[in-house]
Structure 1
């Protein structure tokens, strides 16, 4: 599932976290802040910070509200993105395992629940943010207007599902989204965040920051989520240059209401601003028709066809919201539970747990299904293992990874962000410099650059340090 054009994309995942100190029975729950502090203690010890870029090009940090967050390195293919997102899951899961083992050994036991989902039992929501590098020439409000009907209905092919006593929603994020565009990410959550942070050369690039999608454990769902939007972006750019078909004009009368309607009913009928109505599936098909033939388009069409035919259960093990709903139904039927039984809320939550026991057994229901071969996995364990240490080879992440690794080996002080790397204490060059120190800055403005003479020079200087 590789897009036609090379375009840098990355995913930021905010994880749910809870922890208990064993004290007989289920133990005593500790605060989110204390849980986060315990989880990140090894990171703080190694990096003297809880906000770090790693040698694999990704970023690991504590977000507002004590949420662990991982941002993948820049990726130029769906395959790499899936591998690096899974590597982030793995790094945090291993971190939790390590702290649990150290706590057991020190007499201060702790048990974590690390969750890859988007809601908690108290009504709080945390996100999965997609970042797409687009041309500065694209008009963001115009692009957002084009993408809004697509994003409202995209949950059909990549929602993660949510149980409630009143029924089942195919998306976790749909209920907490309100606007099409906003610079906010919390109080008025939009589909697209407008804050202008290109994380690259601002004269050439803009970052499309999509915050409306669910976090996915299902790799086929994650591939469709990002791959479909990449294909639509290609089509939008083609249309803007006159080389592609016209864009669909499907302005929705009520964006927030349409989001919730689709979440409750995959075959919902939506009202357009023109007064006409259209089915959610037909909205998706209008965008699918723009993208041409590809393996991704064929998979996208297959999913829509099965949903339209009422055969979405055939996608159990592939589409995440279908897989979770099937699991909840099996659990309820096996125990004679009604759908509004609160025990199903616990099953819903357990579906998303990433944490493992000391022997490697998954605690989460999705990961257990995966271990038994009951769900489709697209990544290979060996590739994920490499991605915990190494960046993608075809984006600037490879330069960042080399710089971080060299700085750590040389023992120099450095700071880093997505588009710049600074070493703070290299010996100054030239005669008579003595013990003087200088700051050396390398800028990384091109997300697709994999070679840079300034990077090579700084690497050489650190090696000689």
Structure 2
């Protein structure tokens, strides 16, 4: 009963070539992946992704979508999605690949929001290194950690949370939908423009909100739902489900990222425990999602199915109060440090936003971006439709330290950092020690020539003298940790010896 659970973040990065609008983004994305992999000594023929257990069309509501009716973007279990064959596993346990014409970094499994920040920031550094290595080669690719190009296209930052399979999915939908509608107040990344194509002038809290069209569904690129129903646990299916969350923004701010992961994990804990009894169902969730996003004053109101009206801040405080009561009941106020950190920032941030949103400009990303943009508007008398403001919005997310405005704010101390740069840099090559990601990364580091492919729940290896490849299952996300198998892996002189020792009776 805490904030701790298996979780992770996957982010598609915006890609562009200045002065070459017709450049092929899929080929360029492939260049990003292969350039980084080559620099790190990862051979493309090895350490590739294993698609055997992928099931992207399995729906949590109890059925499978037919492949003939699925949009091609949903068929993420096919190589055809990436003709560049740029799809590798890294020694930090992450996956780096091309997805829908964007380079994507999927972090390794972690167990705390703070670690999620650390390995997400490692992904930023990986993309920055790739850009630097490509800088001397035409055409000069650049990457952006954002979620829309401002012209009608959106690309995702998805979260993943391991949950108990026993939890009824309808309970997840009921209690999580209202929370997701207002969560953007804490973790929206901010955006210039209203509407999917930014045709209406203005500023909004979140980059993704205008792109959602329905409440519940399997799709991720069309008819985007607030609650995604993909049922692909990447673990023992009888025990676990993986909640695939597609509604969040890509965050540069540590506190916003912590709150995105941490508050969601706590709400999921309450749902699993059957704690939430109050019906917070919203009237018109999709319309309310967008209304909240379009109002930086935070005065927009949400209407519950009961007819009660609240502000978004009010509803977030209801969830926080429920979380505090739940934790008090289950732990008597004695919280582990990870849970205490999330609860501290949840309460502190809500208090600051209620007094004056600008008080939270060091923690809440949309507030900091709005403050910066208002400075430009005041100095140069700019309207919200001025293209210079849209350029600032894009530059905010530039991965280059010297160009990205979010990075420059951090460098001047105007962003609250929870994870320092050295820890993030170490996470570029080192996997988390307390999940199966450690075993995956350790095999790639210690036996790189023997690892043929990997996925979240298995590693395929080639053993000298054996004709068939060997699959090592990793169906339990909390097994294969450094404490459990570290000595075995580090003392084995070959992959064959390691397999023999792993299969020996305890």
Same fold per TM (> 0.5)?
yes
Q: For residues 52-451 of structure 1, what are the structure 2 equivalents within 5 Å?
A: 52-64=88-100, 66-101=101-136, 103=137, 109-164=138-193, 166-238=201-273, 240=274, 245-265=275-295, 266-292=298-324, 294-309=340-355, 311-356=356-401, 362-408=402-448, 411-412=449-450, 414-428=452-466, 437-449=467-479, 450=481, 451=484
1:275 shift after superposition = 2.9
1:290 shift after superposition = 1.5
Q: Any idea what SS the aligned residue of 2:163 has?
A: strand
Distance 2:235 2:353 in 1: 40
Q: Any idea what SS the aligned residue of 1:13 has?
A: strand
Q: Stretches of 4+ moved more than 3 A in 1? A: 26-29, 43-46, 455-461
CA contact (8 A) 2:87 2:97 kept: yes
CA contact (8 A) 2:117 2:254 kept: yes
Cα distance per residue 1:85-136 (max 9 Å; x no partner)? 00011011101101213x2xxxxx3323211111113210011100000011
CA contact (8 A) 2:126 2:428 kept: yes
Distance 1:247 1:396 in 2: 35
More divergent stretch after superposition (126-135 vs 44-53): 44-53
Q: Any idea what SS the aligned residue of 2:322 has?
A: coil
Distance 1:457 1:149 in 2: 47
1:461 shift after superposition = 4.2
Structure 2: state its 5+ residue gaps.
45-84, 194-199, 325-332, 334-339, 499-506
Change (3 A) 1:43 1:94: closer
Change (3 A) 1:126 1:27: closer
1:167 shift after superposition = 1.7
Distance 1:31 1:327 in 2: 33
Greater relative contact order (CA < 8 Å, ≥ 6 in sequence)? 2
Residue 28 of structure 2 corresponds to which residue in structure 1? 35
CA contact (8 A) 2:94 2:108 kept: yes
Residue 74 of structure 2 corresponds to which residue in structure 1? none
Q: Any idea what SS the aligned residue of 1:60 has?
A: strand
CA contact (8 A) 2:146 2:397 kept: yes
1:340 shift after superposition = 2.6
1:425 shift after superposition = 4.9
More divergent stretch after superposition (276-285 vs 201-210): 276-285
Distance 2:188 2:357 in 1: 13
CA contact (8 A) 2:33 2:96 kept: no
Q: Any idea what SS the aligned residue of 1:337 has?
A: coil
1:327 shift after superposition = 0.5
CA contact (8 A) 2:10 2:107 kept: yes
Cα distance per residue 1:391-444 (max 9 Å; x no partner)? 111111111111222331xx235111000111145313xxxxxxxx23211101
Change (3 A) 1:44 1:270: same
CA contact (8 A) 2:157 2:246 kept: yes
Distance 2:354 2:226 in 1: 25
Match for residue 10 of structure 1 among 8, 11, 33 = 8
Change (3 A) 1:460 1:191: farther
CA contact (8 A) 1:168 1:264 kept: yes
Cα distance per residue 1:31-63 (max 9 Å; x no partner)? 323422332342565432411111101111110
Q: Any idea what SS the aligned residue of 1:166 has?
A: strand
TM-score by length of 1: 0.87
TM-score by length of 2: 0.80
Give the CA RMSD over aligned residues.
Answer: 2.3
CA contact (8 A) 1:146 1:248 kept: no
The count of residues paired between Structure 1 and Structure 2 equals 430
1:446 shift after superposition = 0.9
